[in-house]
Copies of this chain bind each other. A is one copy, B any other.
Amino acid sequence: MARREEIAAGLAALLSGEGLVTDPRELVPFETDAFTAYRRVPLAVVLPATTGEVAAVLRYCAEQGVPVVPRGAGTSLAGGAIPQEDAVVIGVSRMSRILEVDYDNRTATVQAGATNLSISDRVAADGFFYAPDPSSQLACTIAGNIAMNSGGAHCLKYGVTTNNLLGARLVLMDGTIIELGGKALDAPGLDLLGLLCGSEGQIGIITEATVRLLARPEGARPVLFGFDSSEVAGACVSEIIGSGIIPVAIEFMDKPAIEICEAFAKAGYPLDVEALLIIEVEGSDAEMDAMLARIIAIAKKHGVKSVKESQSATQAAQIWKGRKSAFGATGRIADYICMDGTVPLGQLSHVLRETYTIIERYGLRVANVFHAGDGNMHPLILYNVNDPDEAQKAEAAGADILKLCVDAGGCLTGEHGVGVEKRDLMLHQFTETDLNQQMAVRAAFDPDWRLNPSKVFPLELDMRKAS
């Protein structure tokens, strides 16, 4: 306890009043994130107000040998923000201002704790938006989006965070502040900005970001395509993308997901089909009509059972509300774990079929709702959290499904990151040589392995490196 008090006192000297949390009761909200299977109350939580405070805290923690866990809004589904007991959590939530909107360059510069949606909200009246749209966009921060390279339903056309990030201010573990990128295209030297995207809080703490703004399209229209089987719907997606058509979104739901979401959102989803695609097109009416005609022709080749265009902005909003609340709606009826494997599109039907086989083998249920156009699958494995046997089965089934994705030429994660959840599966994706190289690069930023330790890399490799 003396150590805890010593660190707390040291931190208190660096921060203004509300920037430090050490009361055990007040630390509880920080014990986990949206991957609630693991919980650890951290040593302390600091909520700095400036880049300077972040640098001071990091410098102090480096001197004291204290591990540091960065935290955005704590919405990580992979345990990216789960603390260790001996760690200081640095949360960026108090740094949430939008610093500049620059339409000439179509950029916004924001503090790292700004929520994803707050950027689009700020520029909406002027006809602009920030493209990546994770389901948690109301809460999640840009810092977390960058750390996890977050995506979302509309990333099929607009790309994920790395495609929309132009610059960042980063504080290294030793307190050094570096600037990456900026408003101009590209940058000379090594692309540390690209490296930062998806680095899961292990190379530094992000305090500011400059992102790309895009003009809102003239119109957008989600269309519902019902199919008699998941495999056929998957094959249809593959052919749409394979023919070169890139709608703004292709979302997939199988029957369990349709039922769960429709019960929650009353979105008008068809209940007499086995699989549903929500395909959104955008542009002028003529552009949308032309693209839809091509998509419908392909869907008909695959025996589409029903095609239903949204008839109004309200209906379009309902359709998206259903999709975006899929995880929440599922949580109302069962406990679940959400997988995030990604596969080459040609493998979509095969992987869906094998997913059902795996789930059946474990005697569980699954709802599939995911970004099909990207091949980014999200099987929600349903189970009872109070039944230890079922919980173990769910975890094992999840691992089998992710391995299936990797074996099909895909990867362990599309947008949620590795975190705690998938660290031990990394050796299924990569050779030890590959991982050693990644760890060597990480060590170039944090040689003593203090930043968000025990994540991303398999524990057996991580421990060896850290010791």
Contact = CB atoms under 8 A, between A and B. Distances in A.
Interface of A: 102-107, 127-128, 149, 151, 159-160, 162-163, 172, 176-179, 182-192, 194-195, 197-199, 214-216, 238, 241-246, 283-284, 286-287, 290, 342-346, 374-376, 405, 409-415, 417-418, 422, 426, 429-431, 433-435, 437-438, 440-445, 456-457
A190 B185 contact: no
B106 A409 contact: no
Most chain B beta-carbon neighbours within 10 Å: one of A105, A188, A417, A435 = A188
Contacts of A151: 185-186
Nearest to A443: B444
B128 A244 contact: yes
Nearest to A215: B244
Given A182-B409, A186-B414, A190-B195, 15 more contacts: A102-B346, A103-B242, A104-B344, A106-B241, A160-B185, A162-B194, A185-B411, A186-B376, A186-B415, A187-B411, A190-B199, A284-B286, A284-B287, A440-B444, A441-B444
Most chain B beta-carbon neighbours within 10 Å: one of A184, A417, A438 = A184
Nearest to A457: B189
Most chain B beta-carbon neighbours within 10 Å: one of A422, A430, A444 = A444
Most chain B beta-carbon neighbours within 10 Å: one of A186, A191, A214, A287 = A186
A179 B431 CA distance: 9
Contacts of A287: 283-284, 286-287, 290
Contact of A344 (B149, B183, B244, B284): B183
B409 A184 contact: yes
Nearest to A180: B434
Given A184-B343, A184-B411, A410-B184, A190 B438 contact: yes
Given A159-B163, A194-B194, A186 B441 contact: no
B186 A434 contact: no
Contacts of A283: 287
Contacts of A160: 185-186
A342 B162 contact: no
A440 to B, nearest CB: 4
Most chain B beta-carbon neighbours within 10 Å: one of A102, A163, A344 = A344
B444 A437 contact: yes
Given A182-B409, A243-B215, A444-B437, A430 B189 contact: yes
A186 B413 contact: yes
Contacts of A177: 433
B376 A185 contact: yes
Nearest to A419: B188
B290 A185 contact: no
Nearest to A374: B185
A245 B104 CA distance: 12
A346 B411 contact: no
A256 B250 CA distance: 48
Nearest to A440: B444
Contacts of A457: 189
A428 B376 CA distance: 42
B375 A435 contact: no
A404 B445 CA distance: 31
Contacts of A185: 151, 160, 342, 374-376, 411, 414
